[in-house]
């Protein structure tokens, strides 16, 4: 393809992301899986980069899991989302940023539905008014939290204490990036780089010194898929998807995996334990697994935060080999101590997957 | 350890390791085979489908992927009634195609 043509196609997938003043909504499940991530997102944006990010304790789930599990109809999800938009409008914001990929996909789908079918929007406004006497404006800008870290990646790089470089070899770390399916596969123009070449995580990795690995199953789903995992009889299918990805990336020897979805890091992290127990196979060096990080955790690590303060001890796969490679200082004795110095107790060690 | 679920067997096919020489021979005498868009009209109109699972759509896909044993096993259920030829939206002479498949893939006596 000629270069100018490529530039033109690429331009279609560039996304306008305002620099400041965002209304932030959290994910339902991320706070349980990797509780440091959302806290660190606000910490970095507010206290390190001095941006205006507002969040309210009155926001609820977006209804995405129930919607994708076919347990509630779209009108219900739309009304829940309309209430979230009402909270944003009442707080005086016009830019809406979601922590969760499924929420982001949900919001994009609903805004697009209202644009296509204005009568549906009118009906939802009526339902919201009847339910809780609220009114809303549709956000001017909708972003996923990883879009914001992508936008601030160079500011973070300028303040970084560590680079994604193997200190033993001097080579850039080899990183697998995994984008949540609902980020751009449903509405390619809503994501940075579209569905085929999403650049949101690649941009961060390259700015912070790492190398992105291209491997055959790069765009394959992590395997979560609500209707697969939540039905126990289908869990083998979910596991098999993750297994397929790991088998595909194994020959490239990645140092770690970077994700931007609530479910992907959880399943790629925890399934490594299940694969090790059932198949006796591990994918990292010396019996370890491949660490799976969220983009907020990675940003926090390069900025020099203590790994135990950002919740790295809650990962199934040990992150210590990665910290050693980058040269990040940590105290093993502090791993299972809470912020209040209370002992969090030690988890039982797995039989096959090596953990520190 | 038993988690109550396990890995599903992989259905991945490595096309670099598949011998497609007979499919290429078939394509030489039945060029229309690559016009198939896998719409499934042949399968839905097939009278043998309901009781034997015969599906020409699957047969063509299997041959393209080198799964000859599965394809030929399924073709044994074909009654050559020709209904699939009548409904094919791409105008493929499926009845003739089936006879050609039997001729080429049956050369070694399978």
Mean pLDDT, residues A268-283? 95
* Interchain contact, A236 vs B5, CB within 8 Å: yes
3-state secondary structure chain A: CCHHHHHHHHHHCCCCCCCCCEEEECCCCHHHHCCHHHHHHHHHHHHHCCCCEECCCCCCCCCHHHHHCCCCCHHHHHHHHHHHHHHHHHHCCCEEEECCHHHHHHHHHHHHHHHHCHHHHHHHHHHHHHHHCCCCCCCCEEEEHHHHHHHCHHHHHHHCCCCCECCCCCCECEEEEECCHHHHCCCHHHCCCCCCCCCHHHHHHHHCCCEECCCCCCCCCCCCCHHHHCCHHHHHHHHHHHHHHHHHHHHHCCCEEEECCCHHHHHHHHHHHHHHHHHCCCCCHHHCCCCEEEHHHHHHHHHCCCCCCCCHHHCCCCCHHHHHHHCCCCCHHHCCECCCCCECCCCCCCCCCCCC
Distance from C-alpha of B76 to C-alpha of A71, rounded to nearest angstrom: 44
Contact status of A135 with chain B (Cβ, < 8 Å): no
pLDDT attached to residue B108: 57
Q: What is the mean pLDDT of residues A306-333?
A: 95
Q: Nearest Cα to A182, choosing from A284, A263, A283?
A: A263
Tell me: pLDDT of B110 over 60.
no
Q: Residue ranges per domain, chain B?
A: 20-105
Instruction: Indicate yes or no: CB of B4 within 8 angstroms of CB of A277.
Output: no
Question: Which residue is closest to A352 within chain B, CA to CA?
Answer: B1
Interface test with B, best of A223, A236, A246 (most B CBs within 10 A): A236
Substitution target in B2, B4, B8 with the highest count of A β-carbons within 10 Å is: B8
Those residues with Cβ within 8 angstroms of residue A240's Cβ, 6 or more apart along the chain or in another chain? A223, B7, B8, B10
- In chain A, what residues touch B1 (CB-CB under 8 Å)? 277-278, 351
Residues 6+ apart with CB under 8 A from A346: A336
The pair of three-digit structure tokens given for residue A39, joined into one six-digit string: 């806290």
CB-CB under 8 Å, A243 with B7: yes
Cβ–Cβ below 8 Å for B4 and A235:
yes
The answer to whether A237 contacts B8, with C-beta atoms less than 8 Å apart, is: yes
Say if residue A163 is exposed, middle or buried (CB neighbours under 10 Å; 0-12, 13-18, 19+).
middle
Which chain B residue shows the shortest CA-CA distance from A228? B5
For A:227-246, CB contacts with B below 8 A are 232-233, 235-237, 239-240, 243-244
Find the range with the poorest average confidence among A40-54, A125-139, A338-352: A338-352
Q: How many beta carbons lie within 10 A of that of residue B98, not counting itself? A: 20
Q: How confident is the model at residue A205 (pLDDT cuts 50, 70, 90)?
A: very high
| Closest Cβ opposite residue B5 in set A232, A275, A279 | A232
A277/B1 Cα distance (integer angstroms): 6
ipTM attached to this prediction: 0.74
A348 interfaces chain B, CB cutoff of 8 Å: no
pLDDT of residue B109: 45
Q: What is B20-105's CATH topology?
A: Fumarate Reductase Iron-sulfur Protein; Chain B, domain 2 (1.10.1060)
- Diameter over CA atoms, chain A: 64
- pLDDT at B107 exceeding the cut of 70: no
B5 closest CB neighbour out of A235, A243, A244: A235
- Whether the pLDDT of residue A53 is over 60: the answer is yes
Q: What is the pLDDT of residue B75?
A: 94
Give the predicted TM-score (pTM) of the model: 0.84
Average pLDDT over residues A89-96: 97
- pLDDT band for A1, please (50, 70, 90 cuts): low
The torsion defined by the Cα of A304, A305, A308 and A313, in degrees rounded to 10, comes to -70
- Which residue in the set A240, A275, A278 is minimally distant from B8, CB to CB? A240
Tens of pLDDT, residue by residue over A292-318, are 999 999 999 999 999 999 999 999 999
Residue B11's pLDDT is: 78
């Amino acid at each position: 393809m000629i270069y100018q043509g490529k530039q033109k196609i690429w331009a279609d997938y560039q996304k306008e992301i305002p620099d400041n003043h965002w209304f932030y909504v959290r994910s339902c499940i991320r706070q349980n899986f990797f509780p440091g991530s959302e806290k660190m997102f606000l910490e970095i944006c507010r206290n390190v980069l001095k941006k205006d990010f507002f969040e309210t304790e009155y926001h609820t789930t977006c209804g995405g899991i129930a919607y994708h599990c076919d347990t509630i109809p779209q009108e219900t999800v739309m009304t829940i989302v309309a209430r979230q938009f009402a909270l944003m409008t009442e707080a005086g914001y016009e830019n809406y940023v979601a922590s969760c990929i499924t929420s982001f996909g949900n919001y994009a789908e609903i805004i697009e539905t209202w644009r296509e079918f204005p009568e549906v929007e009118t009906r939802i406004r009526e339902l919201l008014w009847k339910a809780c006497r609220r009114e809303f404006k549709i956000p001017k800008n909708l972003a996923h939290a990883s879009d914001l870290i992508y936008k601030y990646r160079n500011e973070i790089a300028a303040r970084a204490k560590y680079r994604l470089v193997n200190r033993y070899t001097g080579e850039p770390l080899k990183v697998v990036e995994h984008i949540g399916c609902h980020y751009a596969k449903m509405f390619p123009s809503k994501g940075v780089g579209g569905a085929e070449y999403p650049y949101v995580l690649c941009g961060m990795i390259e700015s912070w010194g790492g190398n992105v690995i291209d491997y055959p199953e790069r765009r394959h789903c992590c395997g979560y898929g609500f209707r697969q995992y939540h039905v126990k009889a289908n869990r083998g299918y979910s596991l098999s998807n993750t297994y397929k990805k790991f088998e595909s990336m194994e020959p490239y020897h990645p140092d770690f995996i970077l994700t931007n979805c609530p479910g992907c890091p959880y399943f790629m992290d925890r399934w490594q334990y299940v694969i090790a127990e059932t198949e006796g196979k591990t994918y990292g060096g010396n019996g370890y697994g491949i660490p799976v990080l969220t983009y907020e955790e990675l940003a926090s690590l390069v900025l020099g935060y203590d790994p135990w303060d950002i919740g790295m001890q809650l990962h199934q796969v040990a992150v210590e080999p990665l910290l050693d490679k980058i040269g990040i200082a940590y105290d093993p004795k502090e791993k299972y101590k809470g912020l209040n110095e209370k002992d969090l107790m030690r988890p039982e060690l797995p039989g096959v997957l090596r953990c520190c | 350890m038993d988690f109550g679920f396990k890995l599903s067997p992989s259905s991945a096919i490595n096309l670099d390791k598949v011998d497609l020489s007979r499919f290429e021979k078939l394509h030489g005498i039945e060029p229309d085979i690559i016009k198939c868009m896998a719409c499934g009209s042949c399968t839905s109109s097939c009278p043998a489908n309901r009781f034997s699972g015969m599906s020409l759509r699957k047969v063509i896909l299997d041959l393209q992927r080198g799964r000859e044993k599965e394809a030929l096993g399924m073709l044994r259920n074909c009654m050559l009634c020709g209904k699939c030829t009548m409904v094919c939206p791409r105008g493929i002479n499926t009845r003739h195609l089936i006879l050609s498949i039997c001729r080429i893939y049956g050369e070694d006596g399978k």
